[in-house]
Amino acid sequence: MSSASPFALLANAAALPWTEVPEWPAAELVRRTAGELDRGARLCAWFGVPEGGATRLAAVIAFDADNTLAVARSTPLAGAYPSLTAAQPQAHLFEREVREQHGLTPAGHPWLKPVRATAGAAPANGEFFRVAGGEIHEVAVGPVHAGIIEPGHFRFQCAGEEVLHLEIALGYQHRGVEPALAGGPHRATFSQVEAVAGDTTVGHATAHAAVREALAGAEPPLRAQWLRAVALELERLANHTGDLGALAGDVAFLPTASACGRIRGDFLNLTALLCGNRFGRHLVRPGGCRHDLEPARRTQLLERLSAALADVEQATAWLWDAASVRTRFEGTGPVTAQQAAEIGLVGPAARACGLVRDVRCDHPAGWHRLAQAPVAVWPSGDVFARARVRWLEIQRSGQLLREQLAAPPDGDLRAGPGPAAPDTLAVALVEGWRGEICHVALTDAAGRYRRYKIVDPSFHNWIGLALALRGQAISDFPLCNKSFNLSYCGFDL
Amino acid sequence: MFVFDTLTHRLRHGCATMAYPDGPAPALPDRHGGALRVDAAKCPDGCHECVAVCPTEAITPAEPRGIRLDLGRCLFCAACVEACPHHAITPTGDHRLAVRRREDLVLGSPGQEEVRLAGALDEKLRRLFGRSLRLRQVSAGGNAADEADLNVLGTIGWDLGRFGIQFVASPRHADGLVITGPVTRNMELALRKTWEALPEPKLVIAVGAEAISGGPFAGRPEVLGGATAVVPVDLYIPGWPPHPLTILDGLLRLLGRLEHDRPPG
């Protein structure tokens, strides 16, 4: 229960003065954070804030059942502190990141490797975990892959066809987004945010705008909130449709693969109808939106949306109907609900393990306070479940869009948002199509970004893919990978 | 039964591939704007309204007056179009943007109001690649949008294969490299190795503002600011990301497959 928590509580897309965030020695922060996570909270962000020559640790956690977020920080420290990961595996990457960014060592962390650090002209991958034994062979894949896809390195430990262990090494896409945002907002800030994960432009742009607006103590006009919600669901429809097509392609089921490839484009073109860009670039801005959806355009959007939804329903009906598809999807790449909770999975990957977590319902902000789609859950944790959850979400997003497009709120599209408050912390969560996007901004005395933290859902979920591969045939890796379809650039920042 | 379903569906829908380039090109979304045109003659002395609003510093003041707009850095947000009180920067609605030389993307000097579209490869390379071009794609810090719209060209609506163009898995099988992203330091080695693995003669195509100039990450120490930092580039396709039609136009233009649509001059 959040009410008994010693953390400072706040709602999604809200701000509070930095001085009101409770501070404890690092060991105490670790102990109390572990305690809250034991009681069912989730770790949304764990990061460092430089102060003088030292660093403060900051924790953002979510009490989903209470629709409440909570924050706390440590006193400034240097050197080592007792690792949170030892008790809470979901902190593992956050602590590796803190060590890389600030030099703080989480004592007792079981696998303290680089995350994105550069070594010459490639990431400093460090030593890979190796399984010993004369029968064991190692398979290295990437960074450059066979298709048109982002780079990353996968290292498999195999006994014959069976994968005993998969280690995923990323960092190739590291563009330095967080340091670029510090000291801002700059002129390029918003474009950099839109490029954090280019297939999630609306999700990240909405989170950034919400943080900026919370810092100003302002809310954008209702019509802009409505338009952002519409664009977010269009983004989900396009990506989920593309994923179902790609999953069909990976099991050589071509009717659905070719149909969904085209229908995905139809959804992207709906976003382009709204703002000119197929990925929703330049639509969301702090204070509102740049383009309106006037009645004639809204009617056209609804008509084309209905046609695309009917097409995707037909194309996926073939998929669910085919026994050859089901036998390839069912039981492949399973993750249990307990594993998912321990490693902190988010989004469709978590919901496919039976976990009921969706920011739109658990922490509604913006238009989602007024309109929500039911959370889509499937219990089996395998490729089938991850495909099935996407299909359920396509249906529910489509229904939500039909309802919302029928009754738009009137009013302005853009207002303010006015200057950002100084020395203030703001947090925004958005349920992007991959899951929870978390943006945290801390301002300095002048109201500029002293620290800007971004957590893409992929940051939580890559370890889920590694777990899903345990005991699977290595030939199922492409299928499992596609069923998660995680972002490399969103992780690498 | 999906077998009958899919067959009747196919018969009912017929061929889903667009008529272009034999027929007309599909229309760009009306809010897309397409290529920009710069009439710097309209710029009054000392007016730099557009310079301040550009997120990527793609617009610089020119001497003695006017501006230079670099479409290689442009994110096509149209903030400059909105900011200019003199209508010196206007969207043309034209999807054609690809050029062979980097400087052909810089607009604003007299005679260079619009992009100088790419010409075809020379006769020898056209004979080699004109009817069969195999490409290897490398994302070097790309944000997955440019990559997505390259993938789109393989779908049934665009069917890149009908031009003999195909993306392949091995650089050894490739005639050219398609690069996306601002080229991160962490991808420098992998990009260089991939390029070196391509047999000669080989082409390099930079797709999107990030691969051309670094885009919104230009100047950041974590990136090299585009493909030319590592490899020589033969074709630049601007956009953020470029519309699939813009990419296809660039590829066909390079191969001399748009005979009826030769660039002027």
**What is the DSSP code string of A18-81?**
GGGS-EE-HHHHHHHHHHHHHTT-EEEEEEEEEETTEEEEEEEEEEGGGTEEEEEEEPPB-SEE
Same-domain status, A190 and A51: no
Q: Report the candidate in B111, B107, B110 with the shortest Cα–Cα distance to residue B68.
A: B107
Which DSSP string corresponds to B143-163? Answer: -SHHHHHHHHTTSTTT-GGGG
The CA distance from B107 to B71, in Å, is 8
* Of the partner residues A121, A174, A194, the one whose CB lies closest to the CB of residue B189: A121
Interchain contact, A317 vs B5, CB within 8 Å: yes
Is B135 a residue whose pLDDT tops 60? Answer: yes
Interchain contact, B76 vs A277, CB within 8 Å: yes
CA A196 to chain B, closest CA, distance in angstroms equals 7
CA B88 to chain A, closest CA, distance in angstroms equals 21
Mapped onto helix, strand or coil, the DSSP state of residue A17 is strand
Q: What is the pLDDT of residue B263?
A: 46
Interchain contact, B223 vs A175, CB within 8 Å: yes
Alpha-carbon dihedral sign for residues A357, A358, A361, A362? positive
Mean pLDDT of A17-40: 96
* Of the partner residues B31, B33, B144, the one whose CB lies closest to the CB of residue A487: B144
Residue B64: inside a domain:
no
Mean pLDDT of B25-45: 91
- pLDDT category, B265, cuts 50, 70, 90? very low
Helices and strands: H and E segment counts in chain A: 16, 18
Please answer whether residues A451 and A442 qualify as being in contact, where contact means their C-beta atoms are separated by less than 8 angstroms: yes
Contacts of B194 in chain A (CB under 8 A): 144
Interchain contact, B5 vs A488, CB within 8 Å: no
Residue type, A475: S
Query: For the sheet containing A162-169, what is the strand order?
Result: A136-141, A153-159, A162-169
Please report, for the domain that includes residue A387, its CATH number.
1.10.645.10
The CA distance from B134 to A164, in Å, is 36
Residue A339: inside a domain:
yes
Contacts of A272 in chain B (CB under 8 A): 29, 31-32
Interchain contact, A261 vs B152, CB within 8 Å: yes
CA triple A375-A378-A380, angle to 5 deg: 155
CA B10 to chain A, closest CA, distance in angstroms equals 9
Is B46 a residue whose pLDDT tops 90? Answer: no
Buried b (16+ CB within 10 A) or exposed e, A318-330: bbeebeebeebbe
Contacts of B32 in chain A (CB under 8 A): 272, 276-277
Q: What is the pLDDT of residue B259?
A: 64
Residue B265: inside a domain:
no
CA A159 to chain B, closest CA, distance in angstroms equals 26
Interchain contact, A276 vs B29, CB within 8 Å: yes
Q: What is the pLDDT of residue B51?
A: 94
* Of the partner residues B57, B194, B221, the one whose CB lies closest to the CB of residue A144: B194
Interchain contact, A261 vs B156, CB within 8 Å: yes
Same-domain status, A99 and A214: no
Residue at which a domain ends, from A57, A85, A107: A107
Contacts of A257 in chain B (CB under 8 A): none
Instruction: Search chain B and give the residue with CA nearest A188.
Output: B55
> Tokens at residue A443, please?
């301002």
Beta bridge partners of A430: A437
Interchain contact, A281 vs B75, CB within 8 Å: yes
- pLDDT category, B45, cuts 50, 70, 90? confident
Mapped onto helix, strand or coil, the DSSP state of residue A379 is coil
Q: How many domains does chain A have?
A: 2
Count interface pairs A-B at CB distance under 8 A. Answer: 190
Mapped onto helix, strand or coil, the DSSP state of residue A168 is strand
For residue range A76-110, list pLDDT tens digits in order: 999 999 999 999 999 999 999 999 999 999 999 99
Is A404 a residue whose pLDDT tops 80? Answer: yes
Contacts of A280 in chain B (CB under 8 A): none
CA B265 to chain A, closest CA, distance in angstroms equals 31
Q: What is the pLDDT of residue B63?
A: 83
Q: What is the dihedral of CA B137, B139, B143, B149, to 10 degrees?
A: 0
Mean pLDDT of A349-358: 96
* Of the partner residues B2, B77, B154, the one whose CB lies closest to the CB of residue A321: B2
For residue range B150-208, list pLDDT tens digits in order: 999 999 899 999 999 999 999 999 999 999 999 999 999 999 999 999 999 999 999 99
- pLDDT category, A182, cuts 50, 70, 90? very high
Residue B193: inside a domain:
yes
The CA distance from A91 to A106, in Å, is 11
Mapped onto helix, strand or coil, the DSSP state of residue A136 is strand
Residue B2: inside a domain:
no
Residue B161 lies in domain: 123-256
Alpha helices by DSSP H, listed for B132-204, are 145-152, 188-197
Same-domain status, A102 and A198: no
Interchain contact, B184 vs A291, CB within 8 Å: no
**Residue B264 CB neighbour total at 10 angstroms:** 6
The CA distance from B117 to B121, in Å, is 13
Residue spans of beta strands (DSSP E) within chain B: 36-38, 59-61, 67-70, 89-91, 106-107, 133-139, 165-167, 176-180, 203-207, 235-237
Please answer whether residues A379 and A337 qualify as being in contact, where contact means their C-beta atoms are separated by less than 8 angstroms: yes
Q: What is the pLDDT of residue B228?
A: 96
Interchain contact, B29 vs A273, CB within 8 Å: yes
Interchain contact, B152 vs A118, CB within 8 Å: no
Residue at which a domain ends, from A62, A90, A107: A107
For residue range B202-258, list pLDDT tens digits in order: 999 999 999 999 999 999 999 999 999 999 999 999 999 999 999 999 999 999 988
Contacts of B188 in chain A (CB under 8 A): 121-122
Contacts of A274 in chain B (CB under 8 A): 31
Coarse DSSP helix, strand, coil percentages of chain B, rounded to the nearest 5 percent:
35, 15, 50
Interchain contact, A173 vs B31, CB within 8 Å: no
Please answer whether residues B207 and B180 qualify as being in contact, where contact means their C-beta atoms are separated by less than 8 angstroms: yes
Q: Which tops the pLDDT comparison, B129 or A457? A: A457
Residue B96: inside a domain:
no
Instruction: Search chain A and give the residue with CA nearest B9.
Output: A314
Is B264 a residue whose pLDDT tops 60? Answer: no
* Of the partner residues B78, B150, B220, the one whose CB lies closest to the CB of residue A180: B220
Contacts of B156 in chain A (CB under 8 A): 258, 261-262
Please answer whether residues B133 and B175 qualify as being in contact, where contact means their C-beta atoms are separated by less than 8 angstroms: yes
Query: How close are the terminal C-alpha atoms of chain B, in Å?
Result: 58
Q: How many domains does chain B have?
A: 1
Is A319 a residue whose pLDDT tops 50? Answer: yes
For residue range A439-462, list pLDDT tens digits in order: 999 999 999 999 999 999 999 999
Q: What is the pLDDT of residue B260?
A: 63
Residue A328: inside a domain:
yes
Instruction: Search chain A and give the residue with CA nearest B189.
Output: A121
Residue B239: inside a domain:
yes
Residue A358 lies in domain: 185-439
* Of the partner residues B139, B151, B210, the one whose CB lies closest to the CB of residue A151: B139
Interchain contact, B75 vs A191, CB within 8 Å: yes
CA B259 to chain A, closest CA, distance in angstroms equals 28
Residue at which a domain ends, from A69, A85, A107: A107
User: B36-38 and A449-455: which strand pairing?
Assistant: unpaired
Q: What is the pLDDT of residue A423?
A: 97
CA B249 to chain A, closest CA, distance in angstroms equals 18
CA A130 to chain B, closest CA, distance in angstroms equals 24
Mean pLDDT of A325-343: 96
Same-domain status, A424 and A332: yes
Query: How close are the terminal C-alpha atoms of chain A, in Å?
Result: 33
* Of the partner residues B6, B56, B170, the one whose CB lies closest to the CB of residue A255: B6
Contacts of A195 in chain B (CB under 8 A): 143, 210, 215-217
Question: Could you give the ipTM of this predicted complex?
Answer: 0.94
Calculate the average pLDDT of chain A: 95
Residue A360: inside a domain:
yes
CA within 13 Å, CB half, A181? 25
Quote the crossing angle between the two packed helices A222-250 and A477-484, to the nearest 10°.
Answer: 170
Phi, psi of B90 (to 5 degrees): -135, 140
Contacts of B75 in chain A (CB under 8 A): 191, 281-282
Report in angstroms the alpha-carbon separations of B40 from A127, B80, B103, B146: 57, 13, 17, 30
Please report, for the domain that includes residue B188, its CATH number.
3.40.50.12280
Residue B84: inside a domain:
no
Interchain contact, B186 vs A174, CB within 8 Å: yes
Contacts of A152 in chain B (CB under 8 A): none
* Of the partner residues B1, B146, B157, the one whose CB lies closest to the CB of residue A262: B157
Same-domain status, A211 and A311: yes
Residue A160: inside a domain:
no
